[in-house]
Amino acid sequence: MFDSLSSKFNAAFSSLRSRGKITSADIDQVCNEIYQGLLEADVALGVVESFIEKVKSKSLNALPTLQSGSNQAQAIFEIVNAELIEILGGQARRVRLAKNPPTVIMLAGLQGAGKTTLAGKLAKYFKDLGDTPILVASDLQRPNAVNQLQVVGERISVPVFAPEPGNGVGDPVVVAKAGVAFARSKLHNIVIVDTAGRLGVDEEMMKQASDIRDAINPDEILFVVDAMIGQDAVKTAQAFKVGVGFDGVVLTKLDGDARGGAALSIAVLTGKPIMFASTGEKLGDFDLFHPDRMASRILGMGDVATLAEQAKKALDGESSAKMEEKFIKGEDFTLEDFLEQLEAMSKMGSMGKLLSMLPGAGAMKKQIENFDESEIVRTKAIVQSMTPQERIEPKILNGSRRARIASGSGRKVQEVNALVDKFSAAQKMMKQMINGGGAPAGMALPPGLPAMPAAPRMGKKPSTPPKRKSRSGNPAKRAIEENS
Ligand code: GDP
C-alpha cells in the first residue's frame, strides 16, 4: 500500500546520505520531497504540514550537534521515523477488557467496509488467546450478512447469536441487547456485535448504530474503515465520530494498492488510535496495529518484529529451540532442518507477504510479486524424496542418488542439482553468520527464494515487541493479570 511513498522516502534519504555535510538547504530539500510524497499518498494537507514543520525544526536543532554528513542524515532519518510513528498513533493499543465480563465490542462502519469479515477475525484472535468469544448478528440490513457471520463462526468454532434471519427482517437493537444478555448468561467473556452499515453516511444508519450503542453500552466501539477509499475514509470517520462516537479504528484492505493516505491521516484527525489492521480476505490476514512497525515498513526497513512473531507462532516450540541451539553451537544447518523451515513457512502464509516484511523489500517489489508460490511445493517434494542420511549429508548425493530423487519427486535432475547448489550456498552463509560475519549484502536466501538487496542503514535495531504476558483463559484471573 505504501510502495510509492516508500520509494519517495528512499530517494530523499539516499540523496541526503550522499552529502559530506548537511546544510539547512539540504533539510529544506528533503522536507520538500517528503511533503510532495505525503501529498501524493493522499495524506490530509493539515497532517502533512504539521508533520513537515516538526521534522524541519527538530532536524535543524539536531544538525549542529553532529559532525559528519552520514551521522546527520541518520539523525534526520530517525526524526522522520519518530514523527511517522507519532502520526500513526504513537503506541499500539489493545482492547480494554471489562472489569466485569463480558467485554462488549461493537463494530460500526459503512457497508462493505469489512465489518462482518473483521468480526470473524477478531473472534479468532480472541479465541487463540484463550478467550471465549461469541458473535452477535445485528446487521439485519445487508443481504446475507447474518448467514455470512454464521458461516465464519462455524469455520472458527465460535458461536453466533442470530435469532433473526436479517435481509431487512428483525430489530437490530433488540438482537444486540439479547445477544449481550445471552453471552453473560453463558459466561462468554467477549461479545462482538456486528452492525449494519449503508453505502454512504446517512442519518438512519447513525441513529440505528447509536441506538444499539445505548442499548448495549459497549466497552469498545471500533470504527471499521476501508483504507482503499482514501480521503473519504477520514470524512466518514469524522461523521461516525460525531454520529455514534468510537474508541478505536480498524483499517481494512491494507493489502490493496491504494496510496495509504487514510492510514496516515486518520489517527491525527480523529484523535483515536488505529487498533487493528486487516490485510486480506482470509481469517488470518489480521493483526494488531503497531505504529512503529508500520513506520518501519514505510521507511523501507521492513517489519522484522512481525515476521519474527509469525515465525515463532508457526514453528513449534521444540523445533525453534532446536534451531536456536544449532545456531548457537555452530552446528550444520541440514536439509532436514530446511524441510522443517519450509513446512513452518507454509504455515505462516504466502511467501510474497513474508518477503514484503524484510528490510529493503520495496526495492524488489517485482520479484516478490512474481514469486512463484508453487516453487516451495516443488522444493519440498525434492527434499522429501531424499533419505534422512542424504538430508543430513548432502555431499553423498552422487549422480544415481540424484536421478532417484528426481524420479521420486517428479522433477528434473537439473532441479535437484540447482537445489543442492543453492542449499550449499545458504549453508555457507549460515556458517558465516554464526562466525559473526553477519549476513552479507545481497545475501542469498534459502533455495527457491530470490536474492535480497542490502538492507537500508538502520540507526537502531528494529524494536522487538514487548513480551506478551501470559493471559489466563479465566476472565477473573485475567482481570487480575491485566491490572497487575
Ligand atoms: P461489511 O459490509 O462491512 O460487513 O463488509 P464485509 O465483511 O462483507 O466485506 C466486504 C468485502 O470486503 C468482502 O468481499 C470481504 O471479503 C472483503 N474484505 C474484507 N476485509 C478485507 C481485507 O482486509 N482485504 C481485502 N482485500 N478484502 C477484504
Compute the distance from residue 95 Cα to the ligand 1 centre, in Å: 21
Ligand 1 in contact with 251 (CB < 6 A)? no
Enter the DSSP assignment of 169.
B
**Residue 27 and residue 352: Cα distance in Å, rounded?**
35
| Per-residue confidence band for 92, with pLDDT thresholds at 50, 70 and 90 | confident
Ligand 1 in contact with 279 (CB < 6 A)? yes
Ligand 1 in contact with 278 (CB < 6 A)? yes
In whole numbers, what is the pLDDT of the chain averaged over residues? 82
| Per-residue confidence band for 20, with pLDDT thresholds at 50, 70 and 90 | confident
> Higher model confidence: residue 425 or residue 211?
211
| Per-residue confidence band for 250, with pLDDT thresholds at 50, 70 and 90 | very high
Ligand 1 in contact with 253 (CB < 6 A)? yes
Compute the distance from residue 328 Cα to the ligand 1 centre, in Å: 44
Our mutation pick for probing the ligand 1 site, out of 149, 236, 281, counting the most ligand atoms within 8 A of Cβ, is 281
With beta carbons less than 8 A apart as the criterion, state whether 456 and 73 touch.
Answer: no
* Mean pLDDT within 319-323: 68
CA-wise closest residue to 444 among 426, 427, 431: 426
Ligand 1 in contact with 281 (CB < 6 A)? yes
**Which atom, in ligand 1's list, is nearest to the CA of 224?**
3
With beta carbons less than 8 A apart as the criterion, state whether 259 and 40 touch.
Answer: yes
Compute the distance from residue 114 Cα to the ligand 1 centre, in Å: 4
| Per-residue confidence band for 450, with pLDDT thresholds at 50, 70 and 90 | very low
| Per-residue confidence band for 465, with pLDDT thresholds at 50, 70 and 90 | very low
Kindly state the helix (H) or strand (E) to which residue 135 belongs, with its residue range: strand 133-138
Amino acid 467: pLDDT: 42
- Closest Cα to atom 16, ligand 1: which residue? 281
Q: Is the pLDDT score of 123 beyond 90? A: yes
Return the SS3 of 355. Answer: helix
User: Is the four-CA dihedral 459, 462, 464, 466 of positive or negative sign?
Assistant: positive
> Higher model confidence: residue 394 or residue 331?
394
> Higher model confidence: residue 264 or residue 357?
264
* Mean pLDDT within 67-92: 87
Amino acid 4: pLDDT: 79
Ligand 1 in contact with 218 (CB < 6 A)? no
Amino acid 361: pLDDT: 66
Ligand 1 in contact with 111 (CB < 6 A)? yes
With beta carbons less than 8 A apart as the criterion, state whether 287 and 276 touch.
Answer: yes
What cell numbers appear for 366 in the block? 517485482
With beta carbons less than 8 A apart as the criterion, state whether 390 and 396 touch.
Answer: yes
Q: Is the pLDDT score of 188 beyond 70? A: yes
Return the SS3 of 429. Answer: helix
Amino acid 463: pLDDT: 40
Compute the distance from residue 298 Cα to the ligand 1 centre, in Å: 24
**Burial 200-209, CB ≥16 within 10 A → b, else e:** ebeeebbebb
Amino acid 364: pLDDT: 64
Q: Is the pLDDT score of 251 beyond 80? A: yes
Ligand 1 in contact with 116 (CB < 6 A)? yes
Q: Give how far the C-alpha of residue 60 lies from the chain's centroid of Cα atoms, to the nearest Å.
A: 34
Q: Is the pLDDT score of 472 beyond 70? A: no
Compute the distance from residue 281 Cα to the ligand 1 centre, in Å: 6
Q: Which residues pair with 195 in a beta bridge?
A: 138
Amino acid 448: pLDDT: 46
Q: Is the pLDDT score of 81 beyond 70? A: yes
Q: Is the pLDDT score of 167 beyond 70? A: yes
What cell numbers appear for 211 in the block? 441506538
The CA distances from residue 323 to 21, 334, 345, 352, 471, in Å, are 45, 11, 14, 24, 27
* Mean pLDDT within 373-399: 87
Q: Which residues pair with 107 in a beta bridge?
A: 222
Amino acid 462: pLDDT: 38
Q: Is the pLDDT score of 334 beyond 90? A: no
State the residue for C-alpha cell 548457537: 328
Amino acid 319: pLDDT: 65
**Residue 363 and residue 354: Cα distance in Å, rounded?**
15
CA-wise closest residue to 78 among 237, 282, 301: 301
With beta carbons less than 8 A apart as the criterion, state whether 452 and 362 touch.
Answer: no
Alpha helices in 141-276 (DSSP H): 145-156, 172-185, 203-216, 231-243, 261-270
**Which atom, in ligand 1's list, is nearest to the CA of 286?**
23
**Which atom, in ligand 1's list, is nearest to the CA of 118?**
7
**Residue 267 and residue 289: Cα distance in Å, rounded?**
12
Q: In angstroms, how far is the first alpha carbon of the chain from the final one?
A: 38
Ligand 1 in contact with 197 (CB < 6 A)? yes
Amino acid 464: pLDDT: 41
Our mutation pick for probing the ligand 1 site, out of 1, 115, 117, counting the most ligand atoms within 8 A of Cβ, is 117
Q: Which of these ranges, 85-89, 245-249, 283-287, 401-405, has the smallest mean pLDDT?
A: 283-287
HSE-CB for 228 with a 13 A CA cutoff: 13
Amino acid 124: pLDDT: 95
With beta carbons less than 8 A apart as the criterion, state whether 297 and 140 touch.
Answer: no
Amino acid 459: pLDDT: 38
Ligand 1 in contact with 373 (CB < 6 A)? no
Amino acid 422: pLDDT: 80
Side chain identity at 6, as an amino acid letter? S
What cell numbers appear for 133 in the block? 468469544
Ligand 1 in contact with 166 (CB < 6 A)? no
Q: Is the pLDDT score of 101 beyond 60? A: yes
The domains of the chain, with CATH numbers, are: 3-87 (1.20.120.140), 103-290 (3.40.50.300), 308-435 (1.10.260.30)
Ligand 1 in contact with 114 (CB < 6 A)? yes
- Closest Cα to atom 19, ligand 1: which residue? 114
Ligand 1 in contact with 189 (CB < 6 A)? no
With beta carbons less than 8 A apart as the criterion, state whether 79 and 193 touch.
Answer: no
* Mean pLDDT within 135-158: 94
The CA distances from residue 208 to 108, 126, 172, 173, 202, in Å, are 10, 27, 8, 8, 10
Q: What is the pTM of this model?
A: 0.72
Residues 6+ apart with CB under 8 A from 448: 375, 376, 378, 379, 419, 422
Q: Which residues pair with 226 in a beta bridge?
A: 252
